Amino acid sequence: MAYSGLARFIEQLEKHGELIRIREFVNPELEISEITDRISKLPGGGKALLFENNGTPFPLLINALGSENRIALAFGRHHVSEVEEEMTRLFRELVIPRASWWEKLRMLPMLKEVASWMPKKIAGRGLCQEVFMGRPDLEMLPVLKCWPADGGRFITLPAVHTLDPENGIPNVGMYRMQIFGKALTGMHWHPHKTGAAHFEKYKASGKLMPVTVTLGGDPVYIYAATAPMPENMDEYLLAGFLRKKQVRMVKCLTNDLYVPEDVDFVIEGFVDPSEEPVREGPFGDHTGFYSLAGDFPKFHVTCITHRKDAVYPATIVGIPPMEDAWIGKATERIFLSPIRLTMISELMDMDLPFAGVAHNIAIVKIRKTYPGQAVKVMHSLWGAGQMMFNKIMVVVDESSADIHDYSVIARIFRDNFDTRHSLHFSRGPLDILDHSSQNCGFGSKLGIDLTRPFPEEVQHRQKGNPWAEWKLPATGLRGMLSPEFNSPDLKKHLPFLKETANLCESLTLPVLLLTVDKNERYSKRALEEALSKITGLDSFWAVVLFDHGACLDDLFALVWLLGGNLEPYRDISFIDIPGNGNGRVMLVDATIKTGHHDRFQRDWPNIVTMDNATVAAVDLKWPLLGLGDFLPCPSMKYKPLVKGQGAVRELV
């Protein structure tokens, strides 16, 4: 099903019980974010929210794609798996070898169908140009200030249209846009993005770069702008495939770019590559941490048009799960087949956990037929499109059941993990938003091979896996570690050691969890020395450090912190245990890093949380919003990890 504008999609959301209309006034500065954060973290993603009274002429739709059901509705399907199956059939037909002309001729109907999805340029004006704003004024839109330390208000769901000046191939990407005036924004494209590549070409030519931003329209446009499409492939071909109907494109009024004729808003303009950049940010980002201020190009607005029934689309990002997690899950399913059928034939399944914020953690299932295959797959995926940003990759084999069931993954860890042979380190590109690496955009990666080893892979190993038959003693944690571990003497010797827990009871994993206060008395070396002398530490294969304030009984939060704060080469070390036949115990440092303790030279960002005044205002307003039972602020459990009021974490 195709939707002509967001108003039509809203009708379907309401019909299926997936929308809540909020008629009470809610401020786009922080309040909408706080309400959306509470709703989007409900099981299954909560509901889409339509803020009809926001101080502007336009209603604001948010969390529209924030559940599996709503993404399926956006795609016009009953379930996202239908798109996965369609993509598999399409790629299988396109890549299979054709032995004869007759077989090749039989492809013609499919090629004709693919051609019918190609975007089509039409003459005249579109619905998106029904209303012409005499003087462009971005302040007429309900643009959000999402989080307290944000540098300002940001357009968060823009489809940014650019054109390669050398070959004329268009691109659509999604790059946040900070508002600096009625007709001026930043253009936050990262160096690895196609929009940035186009910018560099215009810069070399000395010409102005035409840019047009669209908002809304058929929700498949929003998805297509986020999708990891191959270079030089039109995102609107993907939109046409999803809606089974070509996208009709109209020419902009003040530049020569084309945009879908049924979007809600069109913001036309240009970037002058010779102009000094603007300081943009900070911004509470999808990593759950602030991305800090940086220099980015200025986007000058020359024209704004919109539909008569225009709806402003927005999203917020921050500590997962939020709407972007569900969009990422759809991408995981849709693009699995193209990767398997064109690059990695042994790939069987993939999971991008919500706690891994898309690029920090990936779980991969392969059909293993030769030694070293898991490592080969790691490096193949690290060289594949946006998978190059992955930091931690776990590879399992076909003996694993459902890799989307994390209790299954825990069992595989227990059965197959070996600290001596399962870890594979590499280096490569990281997401620009990764804050853990000493160098922005570049750092180490960790591959964890949990496949069953072939004989060639274990010829130098000790016989058997020491953890395969591991069981928690009846006496629990205290029966595993000597009494001095919990004695006042240890805390006196290590005053920065705060709390202890383990994954023995919950997941039957021999992993010890500690929180530490990285104050002036903290010493990682002293901690390692003390741990090495603890009788029974060899009952564990890993000790994981978190900052004091982390909730050790919240496994989701711990995995999120681990993925965000870990730089594998730097933060994984080993404690030698005298007389330990199992070798060594892995020490994993998932704490914040500082210049004093870790020689870390970059600013460390704060975790994204809401300010107390906004939380109190929303608490007071909640009964008027029609959102059902009261939901507490999700930020509160992370407040102990925040230091200072700004985007940069203060060292106190």
HEC per residue, 499-536: EEEECHHHHCCCEEEEEECCCCCCCHHHHHHHHHCCCC
**Is 218 in the active site?**
no
For the chain, give the longest Cα–Cα distance. Answer: 82
What is the spatial distance between Cα 32 and Cα 29, in angstroms, rounded to a whole number?
7
Active-site residue identified among 285, 397, 538, 571: 285
Contacts of 477 (CB under 8 A, 6+ apart): 500, 502, 504
Query: Can you tell me which residue has the tokens 């019909």?
Result: 15
Helix (H, G, I), strand (E, B) or coil at 392: strand
Q: How far apart are CA 423 and CA 402, in angstroms?
A: 22
Would you tell me how many other CB atoms lie within 10 Å of the CB of residue 438?
Answer: 16
Using a 10 angstrom Cβ sphere, with 0-12 exposed, 13-18 middle and 19 or more buried, the burial of residue 652 is exposed
Planar angle of CA 361, 364, 366, nearest 5 degrees:
165
H helix or E strand, kind and range, residue 374: helix 373-382
- How many whole angstroms separate alpha carbon 213 and alpha carbon 284? 22
Q: Which of helix, strand or coil describes residue 279?
A: strand
Q: Where are the alpha helices (DSSP H) in 164-270?
A: 194-205, 219-226, 235-243
User: Which positions are catalytic?
Assistant: 285
